[in-house]
Structure formats: structure tokens, C-alpha cells
Amino acid sequence: MNHTVSHSLFQTAKTLMPGGVNSPVRAFSAVGTNPVFIREGHGPLLTDVDNNQYLDYVLSWGPMILGHADPDVVAALEGVIGKGTSFGAPTEAENKLAALMIESVPSLERVRMVNSGTEAVMTALRLARGYTKRSKIVKFNGNYHGHSDALLVKAGSGVLTHGIPGSPGVPEGVVQYTLTADFNDEEMISQLFSQEGNDIAAVIVEPVAGNMGVVPMTDSFAQLLRRLTTAHGSLLIFDEVMTGFRLAYGGAQTLYNITPDLSCYSKIIGGGLPVGAFGGKSEIMQHLAPEGTVYQAGTLSGNPLAMAAGYATLKKLQTHPEYYQQLDQKATALAQGLQEAAQRHGVKVTVNQVGSMLSLFFTDQPVTDFETAVSSDTAQFGQFFRAMLDQGIYLPASQFETWFLSVLHTDDHIQQTLQAAEKALKQL
């Protein structure tokens, strides 16, 4: 493929923005090449500025479950954009999306709209501390909850991709109340609660981690977290920024049959526009200002465009429950095909898949936590990524990110991807 225009744009971008990008993984530095600049997307396909076309498994890192430029979402945006893009005042659109979310997720009684997943998590933790009057929180190694200071401790996502254990600029005092434990390690979290339980305000967890690659919680670990937090008066917070409305209409919590105290959202609930939200029990949420004393505010929170796109997306998913079964079937076929192709060529891989999320790890051991995820051969993944890109398959540019499917990925697209993978794996 010719990437002349993309290359030129990237050279210019590097003079304008740190690393030439506005989010680190986009730089493609972890996979040994330069990024392609996207011009447009339709359905499951992207076209770059050099007129190359790609089958997209990034989907804006998860939000585009209906594919790019879904006609219902576009129509919803066209219906509101001419009336004004932001008012900093209440609108009916906020009511509609909040009501639909509360109707759809059993654990939600009240919702607060914000502007990003990072903001949703940051505020949910502040609320948990204000509600419990405790300071300590627990997060799990390899779980990524956004880039707020207190959570850049043994995180996944770009922090893991770029080998950064934390981040300069985060004072030690900020993270002194952040406790970490190994994901899916029942003994460690039990010991932590026995030692610190009365001081723990909340445990935050990705029910299916997606930022060290796809790594699901075990059922027993999920049940243990619910028991421990309840017994010690701590809150259980599910970070469903990635999994919410993707793995099931009610999110991952419905798959695990767990009722968290608070849940955090972004991605799909904005239909591709910047958005975030968190919610939970009224008893807890009423502590937020202006009803309570825990402060949070945002000029663009609940803006009409994000609310319209999000409502159109969730309503379409609600109207078509069959989408989730179709997504699961296609992702399962892709995961099995990748595993079989690797075996044929003697390449050691593990494929983790939950619903329409999957990861191809270049390791021969099961990936169940941070330690096993980082055992993957990142150089081999880089080779695979470049070979797939050359064949028009657009994958996340990191071993530790998630592949996503949209409802518009067809069986033919899956076969196209597997044929490309066959050639790519043969080259390793």
C-alpha cells in the first residue's frame, strides 16, 4: 500500500503535537511503523488519505458498534446540530438518554452525564470516598481506568503499551491511597481486605479488562468482590466504559449477574461522540452536588449532540436484541479461526474472546492477568500488525488493546480477515 500522504501529514503533525498525535497508541510506535491518517469511515470500513481501504477492528476503540456513519445516528445528529451544539443548560435530550440507560441497566437508579470515561471514573471514585468517608481505593494491575493521577498505577492501555509503570508528574502523595492487587487473584484481594478493609472506600474493576488485551474476570472472583465489599461497607464500582452496551445490552454486569454500587460508562453511550456517564443507587448518587456536597461540574456535560447520538445508538440496540448473538457468533468464528491458523504455522498464540471483544496474544500460556498478558511477544505482534495492515486489515496498534466487531462485520469480512491472518502468520 502507498502511504505517501499519511507519511507527509505525520511529519507535519510531529511539529504540531507531542509525538504527532493526541493519544499515544495512535502513533503506531509500539508496532514499528507510522500511523495512517483516516479520511472517512462507512460501516466496518475505513478509507485513508491515500485512498487505501481497511476493514476496521478498532472502531474508534469500541464505540462504533453499529459501524461508522450509521444512518440512524447521522439522522439524529442532523436533527439537532442546526439548533445549537451546546447550551450549558438542561435539555430534554439529557432526560431521554438517562431514562433509557436506567431502564436498560438494573443497577442504575440515577445517572450523571460527563464528557469522558476518565471523568466518569474520577468522579465516581470521589463520590465513593465522599459517601463512605474513607480514603483508600483498590484497583487491579493491568486494569486501565483513564489517565487521572490516582489511577496511573500499574495500569493497562497506553501505559502498558509504552512500558510506563506510572507517569512523571504524579506526586507520590496522590497515589498513597491507591492500593493495587492482581486481577483474578482471590487470595490477594482477600488478604488486602483483611488488612485494610475498614479503610477501603471502593474497589474499581473492569469486569472484562480490555486494556491489557481482553482478560475476563472469573465468575468466582466477581462474586468474591461483591461479598468482600458488602461485608466491609465498601463500594463496588464496575468500569463499563468499554463493556457497557457492548457485551450485552445491560453490560457485563448482566453476564456476571452482579449488581455493582456504581457503574461508569463512555464509548457506546455517545454513539461516537465524546461522552461519559456514571450512575448507581439513588442513596449514593444523591450525595452529588447540587443535591449533596460531593462536587462535580462540566460545561459540555450532556451536550445535545452526544445525547442525540447516544440515544439513537442505544435505541437501535434495544430494538435489535439479535445483534448481540450475531456479534458473538462472528467474534467466536474469528477467534477460533485465528487460533487454528496459528497452530497450522507453528506460531504460539492464545486468543481471548468475550462477546464482540477479542485479543490475539503471542504467548502459549493462558492469559488471565497482568503478568500473563505481558509475557506476550510484542515484537511478533508488531510483525503481524504490519502484515495485516498491508492487506487492508486495521487492527489496534498494540498487543495490549482489544479488537472490536460491529454489527456490520459480515461472515465474508471474517473470512477476509482470516485469509489475511493466514498469510501474516506464515511470515512469522
Based on the residue annotation, tell me whether 256 is a catalytic residue of this protein. Answer: no
Cis amide linkage into residue 165, ω under 30° from 0: no
Known active-site residue 267: yes
Q: How far apart are CA 312 and CA 314, in angstroms?
A: 6
Contacts of 103 (CB under 8 A, 6+ apart): none
Dihedral angle, C-alpha 244, 250, 252, 256, nearest 10 °: 160
Helix and strand totals (H; E) in the chain: 15, 16
- Are the CB atoms for 104 and 314 separated by under 8 Å? yes
User: Does the annotation mark 144 as catalytic?
Assistant: yes
Candidates 57, 131, 144, 324; catalytic one: 144
For 383, counting Cβ atoms within 10 Å of its Cβ (0-12 exposed, 13-18 middle, 19+ buried), the class is middle
- Ramachandran region of residue 315, left (φ > 0), alpha (ψ -120 to 50) or beta? alpha
| Stated length of the chain | 428
Catalytic residue among 267, 311, 323, 394, which?
A: 267
Q: Hey, what's the cell of 138?
A: 483498590
Q: In what order do the strands lie in the sheet with 403-404?
A: 350-354, 357-361, 403-404
Residue 92: CB atoms within 10 A of its CB come to: 9
Residue among 205, 213, 210 at smallest CA distance from 256: 205
**Given the residues 239, 261, 369, 377, the one annotated as active site:** 239
Residues catalogued as catalytic: 144, 239, 267
